[in-house]
Structure 1
Amino acid sequence: MDTQNCFHCGLDTIKEDEIIFDDKIFCCNGCKTVYEIFSLNDMTCYYDFEKSPGATPQDIKGKYDFLDNESIITKLLEFQEDSTCIISLNIPHIHCSSCIWILENLQRLQKGISTSQVNFPEKKVRITYNPETVSLKTIVYLLSSIGYEPYISLENYETGKNNVDRSLTYKLGVAFFCFGNIMLLSFPEYFEVKEYWLDQYRGFFRWLIFILSLPSFFYSASDYYVSAYKSIRSKMLNIDIPIALGIVVMFVRSTFDIFMDYGSGFFDSLTGLIFFMLLGKMFQIKTYSFLSFERDFKSYFPIAITKINTDVSEESIPIYDVQKGDRLLIRNQELIPVDGILISDKAEIDYSFVTGEAIPITKKSGDKIFAGGKQIGKVIEMEVLHSVSQSYLTQLWSNDVFQKNVIQNHKTITDKISRYFTPILLFIAFSGFGYWLFFDANIAFNVFTAVLIVACPCALALTAPFTFGNILRILGKKKFYLKNALVIEQLAKVDTIVFDKTGTITTNKKSNISYEGDSLSDENIFLIKNVLRASNHPLSRMLYDFLPEVKRIKINHFEEITGKGIDAQVDDFKIKIGSASFVEKLEGNSIQQTSVHIKINGVYFGKYIFNNEYREGLETLFKNLNKSYEIKVLSGDNEGERETLEQILPKGIELVFNQKPEQKLDFIKRLQENGKNVMMVGDGLNDAGALAQSNIGISISENVNVFSPACDAILDASEFQKLNYFLKLSKKAITTIKMSFTISLLYNVVGLSFAITGNLLPLVAAIIMPLSTITIVSFVTFMSNLYSKKLKA
């Protein structure tokens, strides 16, 4: 029968049934329609990434009518506002670069979709759309019409249960069954036992071995054939090609032996090979899932949120302790960590972290507010609807908008080795086979298969991810939380460290505060305390804790100007709290000090002076850091603390005062222009720009929920003195990777030298392959744990 392949999906088409359109052959009207949609929207480059990448669209008429129900849609959505909705959909058909390209360009196919992001490993697409322009049902039908029908299950969305893929477990079970029985049936041939019934039924046992090998060969090893085929189709040589070739050659050779009655073949080695390789694969998957579980399970946000108790007292609790029904206090610039109901009469919420839109949305009492928004202005109260979703906050933190362009040296090394590995391996295998064929065909086949199997770069590929994963886990336990594994490599490259002063090297917890100026009445203190309640600035928090408890009142207007101060109104009182210039007060020639000035209804009263308490271990930390790094200290305050800092810190450290947020950013930019690799350590509030500009931005977290997605790491304030230890450990992680690369390459060189000389059986090679992976994993785990215990701050 004359058949050709469909241009869209690649399926065979029968000559009589094929549809020709635009000089291309399609198997059905569905595939032709998808091609037409792409053509009309100038998106035919979809077919340039991979040949026949599409799937045949299915008829789903009426299947998604339940998406007309608003209550169901609400359960499916991650985020919902007037003009912005976000949903994550499971797309089982995602399989190649063409799929990623088309799904990340949905906005060109449908008006109302603003962005779409693909999570390839999880086969998900996250779509941001305008519900006023396009409905969710329309989007689902669009996806289905181009061959990417989503899998929607309310049970999965509500309970978080996903269907677990157990195919590898089944394949491993079948491989073990075949391997075990074939080994048992092969024993008489091994020992050359001379028994009448064995000699009489030798042929029967051999054919039984052949039949038992078929499920292992065709089913258990199928993933290797599929991977090798896709690799060849995409004109890239991956490691599965030599493995698949080795399996096929061994099977063909063994089948030939049985048909020609030369012997029982190598079916025992073949099934053992498949079993041990699948066992190694299972070990690798379990290793990765363990690391992923560790990262998700441990809270990667040590930030606290203020909870209002039933007796109206306030306490700071970790955000992962927040429960449904709790009442939370959200201050200016704080992140809303959970979905909830607004209790306060009005709120301005900036959802730019979620939607990219910086225009604040006004909410009224009783409205639902979503996690990920940032409160702008006066303090608000809310009631929690759901407990905190750490994975959602991690998703915000890892948003592409906040990613920095970094060169991954370890990945570059792995990619270079992998690129040349397979061609070199195939050359060695065929050369060895050709050489030994002149002496002994059996040895030639053994050499060919053993070479293909023993030299596997799996251990090489696993080195960096596992080392970084283990270091991430160790650092997380020590309350240093990194955005991702790339940060470790960047930490190791740092040569210059810039510290913010207030709230970073000074602690918010302790400060000797005194007042200087006209006496403040109880009413004035009452007003100041209530205004400060909404602020997140370190000095505001310290002063708020210092002032006596007062009754809480409603604030009519609140505006916090970064780097300057607070402008607020309570009934008929206009209050300004901040720097001297902000309250328009000219300071004399007296000693400059860190202070907060007070102005009420245009009348200047005085200032609160802060004699800063520096963090415990600061002197030792800077002394140790100064040996290996260039250190700078930036401060938005005046030079009042210069003398104190010069006494505490080692000589030669640059101290820069009176720096506004934009000046801090420019300072870091200048350092980078001079070739410096800069790490910025700040409090995450006034330093957001500088944290984003730096090569590595670390936000110090004390007891307020100021979330800076531009930072690369969050350090719990209690572990501040261990910063040098963390930097040392990151360098040791890179050393461990280099050592592991060397061991992995030596493993392959030794294994190949044995294989090429005919001293390594294929079955032994199959056992060595997963053993090399176990060795590498054990080595990097041991070394990273050893370094974490032995290193000193």
Structure 2
Amino acid sequence: MANTTCYHCGDDCGEDGVSFDDKSFCCHGCKTVYEIFSSNGLSAYYEIEAKAGTTPNEIRKKYDFLDNQEIVKQLVEFDEEGVQVVGLSIPSIHCSSCIWVLENLNRLHPSITVSQVDFPKKTIRVTYKTNDFSLKALVLLLGSIGYEPYISLEEFEKKQNKVDRSLIYKLGVAGFAFGNVMLLSFPEYFEVEEFWLDQYKHVFRWLMFAFSIPVVFYAGRDYYISAYKGIRSKMLNIDVPIALGIFTLFVRSTADIIFDLGSGFFDSLTGLVFFLLLGKFFQQKTYAYLSFERDYKSYFPIAVTRLEKDGKEENVQIYNINVGDRILVRSHEIIPVDCILIKGTAEIDYSFVTGESEPVMKESGEKLFAGGKQLSGVLEVEVLKTVSQSYLTQLWGNSVFTKDKASQFQTLTDSIGRRFTMAVLTIATVATIYWLIAEPSMALNVFTSVLIIACPCAIALAAPFTLGNMLRIFGKHKFYLKNTNVIERLSKIDTAIFDKTGTLTTSQKDTIYYEGIALSDEEKALLKTTLRASNHPLSRSLYNILQSNAIMTLDEFEEHTGKGIVGKANEHSIKVGSASYVGSEKSTSTTNTAVYISADEDVKGRFVFKNTYRHGIGQIFEALKEHLQLGILSGDNDGERGQLEQILPENTQMLFNQKPEDKLEFIKNLQQDHSVLMVGDGLNDAGALAQSDVGLAVSENINVFSPACDGILDATKMQWLPKFIQLSRKSISIIKLSFILSLCYNIVGLYFAVTGQLQPVIAAILMPLSSISIVVFATLATNYIGKGLKN
């Protein structure tokens, strides 16, 4: 078996190899992994990428410290009701098959419910049940299949500050070698003879060879690895021609000095790698800057109600919350921090974190974890940890509850890159064959120059830099999108649907008056306490105008989405909601929104809201109607239809008395022929926001954090929505223009390369400059069109 390779990891089996199932393995560990995959229906792992595994290590005793529950508590992100969530670093993640097997861990053990890989960071986030499973068992399972995690408490605490400096080191090595090789090449450049020919020529040439070795095998190794993985996966990525060019230059130059044919191309070789890395460093720094600028976690628009020492309630932004503060968590609000329950009955839905929809009941004194949603009643909690914005942004993008809304535009970019690479290899081969026949001495220069000059890096960079910068610009103007993919989808919408209450209307200027039997002081106190637990815009408006200061503790609270709320205390109950919900036989005609009240099942009356529409709603719809079909979905009655018809353009479709499930179904039917934008308040519209192609939640002074939405728009910027949509379309135009510029550059560069007029070192300088020029163009162009938001 000395000449066989391992079926699992590809290593040489040697004399101690193992045979099983007509296959060869280098060790019993790889054989065990193969058995695990085969017995659990994961044999497709080897079809995705042959020999893609890694050899498992003996790790069982190494992780005995995970038996200590205190250590486990420091490592897990979430631990509640038999469910834990943990993020682990997996250094051996390296290819598509790694992602596939790690995201199918639930097929290896039934206790694992979800596993999600972050490939660039080489991490995995796993949700699992702890009844017959543990963190140690998870770690050992990962180790047994060749993906041993790296766990260090010290590193765990400092991982946010960890900086990868490998590119800087490689750039330094390449720059040092390039400078010295250029210096050693001067005698050749100036054709110095005499002592050079007899004494130092060979010494200088072998010194240049020595300087090129660390450049080729260290500084440039990422290009070989990337090219190899691409070829092994049957995908021609953009690093294939680069790696081929470096390898060709090195082999040819080495042959030249061995056979004394010349000094080779070590100056071009080291210069090529140096300028490639310099371009990559610039791109990395620029994109890191853009990523930092568009990092919405520092101003995430979540408002939290903080209780002051004098009993007053104050709405504050979430990052102003400190340890020890008392905050209110209302019905259907997301718990933003780890905290201790002080008052109220907690019924927590942790499905946003774990995917498990079964609510968890908690009592006073018990710990609540960030990310849970309170289902019933208002809670008073004390903050244990300051808010982890990165955790909330991770929650926003958790694949547990978001459906795939992937755009095809990014796929188009990748497709262009692959096809371009194939075209470049074809041109390089044909041109080399021609020059081998016409003038063999020119063939190598032509081949290398074509491979270098025609790199599709510029094409690949156009989309991320354009959309990344636009994401930053949107964020500066209080329009926060989940990722760049949302901009692509936003540019393609042809239909916009709006919720009414809390979206088109504002609760800041509502005029409210009461019609009916007067409420007693006890009923007023119970009403205000019940409203205090709700997060609906009408509940918040009514709560703010009620005079009663007597806040009591509710025995029961229920919120029936789209219908109303009920609160019970001291054997009395009060209902707030629609006429049918509270038991009114008939809704009195009104041109305004009304909320009905019943106490102990007796209908008392109603609060009538004279809605105030946001400033400029008419202009917003006039601007949108030029490119979009428009519609209104409202859970209220149609009393304000006449007023809306005066404000909104003709032919605007309006549907009233819509329950949340009705809104979702309407959007789903509309999507059969249209790309739909849904704009809501993030509460009763969660289903419709998730179903739509793009879901935007409008944020006012309430907690509107909704993981179902794709973006959050500050209510004060509502009038800019048409401009935001217009800018998303212009962003796509900038990307297309970048493609055209890159294509023009490549056509010109290929002409000079194919005709032998371009030296490899010049090509190496021009290639990163072309990429940088695309980055600069995309950044300047997006900044220019972004200036329109200031008008």
**Match for 2:134: what amino acid?**
S
Residues 1:704 and 2:697 aligned together: no
Larger mean CA deviation between 559-568 and 636-645 belongs to 636-645
Judge conservation of contact 1:634–1:655 (CA < 8 Å) in 2.
yes
Separation of aligned partners in 1, 2:590 and 2:23 = 83
Residues 1:270 and 2:277 aligned together: no
Judge conservation of contact 1:555–1:569 (CA < 8 Å) in 2.
yes
Q: CA deviation at 1:635?
A: 1.8
Judge conservation of contact 2:497–2:632 (CA < 8 Å) in 1.
yes
Q: CA deviation at 1:717?
A: 0.9
Judge conservation of contact 1:114–1:128 (CA < 8 Å) in 2.
yes
Judge conservation of contact 1:349–1:373 (CA < 8 Å) in 2.
yes
Q: CA deviation at 1:525?
A: 2.1
Separation of aligned partners in 1, 2:229 and 2:668 = 45
- For structure 2, which runs of at least 5 residues remain unmatched after alignment? none
Larger mean CA deviation between 175-184 and 196-205 belongs to 196-205
Larger mean CA deviation between 705-714 and 156-165 belongs to 156-165
Separation of aligned partners in 2, 1:587 and 1:43 = 61
Q: Which of 716, 719, 732 lines up with 1:718 in the alignment?
A: 716
Judge conservation of contact 2:402–2:690 (CA < 8 Å) in 1.
no
What is aligned with 1:542?
541
- Distance of aligned partners of 1:300 and 1:25 in 2 relative to their CA distance in 1, 3 Å threshold: farther
Separation of aligned partners in 2, 1:398 and 1:787 = 28
Q: CA deviation at 1:458?
A: 0.8
Q: CA deviation at 1:589?
A: 5.9
**Match for 1:229: what amino acid?**
Y
Q: Which of 778, 781, 786 lines up with 2:776 in the alignment?
A: 778
What is aligned with 2:105?
106
Judge conservation of contact 2:566–2:574 (CA < 8 Å) in 1.
yes
What is aligned with 1:493?
492
Judge conservation of contact 1:328–1:384 (CA < 8 Å) in 2.
yes
Judge conservation of contact 2:491–2:725 (CA < 8 Å) in 1.
yes
- Distance of aligned partners of 1:527 and 1:772 in 2 relative to their CA distance in 1, 3 Å threshold: same
TM-score normalised by L of structure 2: 0.96
Q: CA deviation at 1:632?
A: 1.3
Per-residue CA shift, 1:392-444, capped at 9, x if unaligned? 11222112244344453322322322232222212211222222234433322
- Distance of aligned partners of 1:670 and 1:233 in 2 relative to their CA distance in 1, 3 Å threshold: closer
Judge conservation of contact 1:209–1:267 (CA < 8 Å) in 2.
yes
Per-residue CA shift, 1:432-460, capped at 9, x if unaligned? 22222344333222111100100011110
Q: CA deviation at 1:792?
A: 7.9
- Distance of aligned partners of 1:578 and 1:694 in 2 relative to their CA distance in 1, 3 Å threshold: same
The SS at the match of 1:3 is: coil
Judge conservation of contact 2:421–2:455 (CA < 8 Å) in 1.
no
Separation of aligned partners in 2, 1:322 and 1:163 = 26
Judge conservation of contact 2:323–2:383 (CA < 8 Å) in 1.
yes
Separation of aligned partners in 1, 2:206 and 2:159 = 48
Separation of aligned partners in 2, 1:668 and 1:109 = 38
What is aligned with 2:45?
46
Separation of aligned partners in 2, 1:524 and 1:420 = 72
What is aligned with 1:686?
684
Separation of aligned partners in 2, 1:238 and 1:648 = 53
Residues 1:8 and 2:29 aligned together: no
**Match for 1:515: what amino acid?**
Y
Larger mean CA deviation between 711-720 and 400-409 belongs to 400-409
Judge conservation of contact 2:579–2:587 (CA < 8 Å) in 1.
no
**Match for 2:441: what amino acid?**
N
What is aligned with 2:443?
444
Q: CA deviation at 1:651?
A: 2.8
Per-residue CA shift, 1:524-554, capped at 9, x if unaligned? 3222111111111111100111112503210
The SS at the match of 1:582 is: helix
Separation of aligned partners in 1, 2:617 and 2:404 = 32
Structure 1 vs Structure 2: percent identity of aligned residues?
59
Matches for 1:588-627 after TM superposition, within 5 Å? 590-627=589-626
Separation of aligned partners in 1, 2:406 and 2:306 = 42
Separation of aligned partners in 2, 1:526 and 1:277 = 71
Residues 1:522 and 2:559 aligned together: no
Matches for 1:72-83 after TM superposition, within 5 Å? 72-83=71-82
The SS at the match of 1:436 is: helix
Separation of aligned partners in 2, 1:396 and 1:598 = 37
- Distance of aligned partners of 1:142 and 1:181 in 2 relative to their CA distance in 1, 3 Å threshold: same
Q: CA deviation at 1:198?
A: 6.6
Separation of aligned partners in 2, 1:625 and 1:197 = 76
Q: CA deviation at 1:626?
A: 2.1
- Distance of aligned partners of 1:665 and 1:38 in 2 relative to their CA distance in 1, 3 Å threshold: closer
Separation of aligned partners in 2, 1:707 and 1:528 = 26
Separation of aligned partners in 2, 1:465 and 1:679 = 23
Separation of aligned partners in 1, 2:270 and 2:313 = 65
Judge conservation of contact 1:111–1:134 (CA < 8 Å) in 2.
no
Per-residue CA shift, 1:168-194, capped at 9, x if unaligned? 222211111110001111122212245
Q: CA deviation at 1:590?
A: 4.1
What is aligned with 2:293?
294
Judge conservation of contact 1:577–1:596 (CA < 8 Å) in 2.
yes
What is aligned with 1:133?
132
Larger mean CA deviation between 720-729 and 562-571 belongs to 562-571
Judge conservation of contact 2:323–2:386 (CA < 8 Å) in 1.
yes
What is aligned with 1:430?
429
Q: CA deviation at 1:774?
A: 0.6
Per-residue CA shift, 1:682-718, capped at 9, x if unaligned? 1111111222222211111111113322211111111
Larger mean CA deviation between 496-505 and 28-37 belongs to 28-37
Per-residue CA shift, 1:54-87, capped at 9, x if unaligned? 2222122421111111111111111101221111
Q: How many matched pairs?
A: 791
Q: CA deviation at 1:282?
A: 2.1
Judge conservation of contact 1:296–1:390 (CA < 8 Å) in 2.
no
Judge conservation of contact 2:428–2:447 (CA < 8 Å) in 1.
yes
RMSD: 2.0
Larger mean CA deviation between 546-555 and 396-405 belongs to 396-405
Separation of aligned partners in 2, 1:301 and 1:446 = 54
Judge conservation of contact 1:701–1:716 (CA < 8 Å) in 2.
yes
Separation of aligned partners in 2, 1:200 and 1:587 = 109
- Distance of aligned partners of 1:565 and 1:137 in 2 relative to their CA distance in 1, 3 Å threshold: same
Residues 1:748 and 2:746 aligned together: yes
Q: CA deviation at 1:588?
A: 6.4
Q: CA deviation at 1:103?
A: 1.6
**Match for 2:189: what amino acid?**
Y
The SS at the match of 2:117 is: strand
**Match for 1:485: what amino acid?**
T
What is aligned with 1:319?
318
Q: CA deviation at 1:237?
A: 2.1
- Distance of aligned partners of 1:567 and 1:279 in 2 relative to their CA distance in 1, 3 Å threshold: same
Per-residue CA shift, 1:93-122, capped at 9, x if unaligned? 111222222222222222422222222111
**Match for 1:494: what amino acid?**
I
- Distance of aligned partners of 1:653 and 1:38 in 2 relative to their CA distance in 1, 3 Å threshold: closer
The SS at the match of 1:63 is: helix
Residues 1:348 and 2:337 aligned together: no
Separation of aligned partners in 2, 1:650 and 1:47 = 58
**Match for 1:750: what amino acid?**
V
Separation of aligned partners in 2, 1:460 and 1:700 = 35
- Distance of aligned partners of 1:290 and 1:791 in 2 relative to their CA distance in 1, 3 Å threshold: closer
Matches for 1:224-235 after TM superposition, within 5 Å? 224-235=223-234
Judge conservation of contact 2:342–2:382 (CA < 8 Å) in 1.
yes
Q: CA deviation at 1:325?
A: 1.6
Matches for 1:383-532 after TM superposition, within 5 Å? 383-406=382-405, 408-532=407-531
Judge conservation of contact 1:107–1:114 (CA < 8 Å) in 2.
yes
Separation of aligned partners in 2, 1:742 and 1:607 = 63
Q: CA deviation at 1:653?
A: 2.0
Judge conservation of contact 1:333–1:706 (CA < 8 Å) in 2.
no
Larger mean CA deviation between 723-732 and 150-159 belongs to 150-159
Separation of aligned partners in 2, 1:259 and 1:634 = 79
Separation of aligned partners in 1, 2:358 and 2:402 = 22
Q: CA deviation at 1:730?
A: 0.6
Separation of aligned partners in 1, 2:68 and 2:422 = 56
Judge conservation of contact 1:729–1:791 (CA < 8 Å) in 2.
no
Judge conservation of contact 1:301–1:714 (CA < 8 Å) in 2.
no
TM-score normalised by L of structure 1: 0.96
- For structure 1, which runs of at least 5 residues remain unmatched after alignment? none
**Match for 2:4: what amino acid?**
Q
- Distance of aligned partners of 1:481 and 1:416 in 2 relative to their CA distance in 1, 3 Å threshold: same
Judge conservation of contact 1:330–1:379 (CA < 8 Å) in 2.
yes
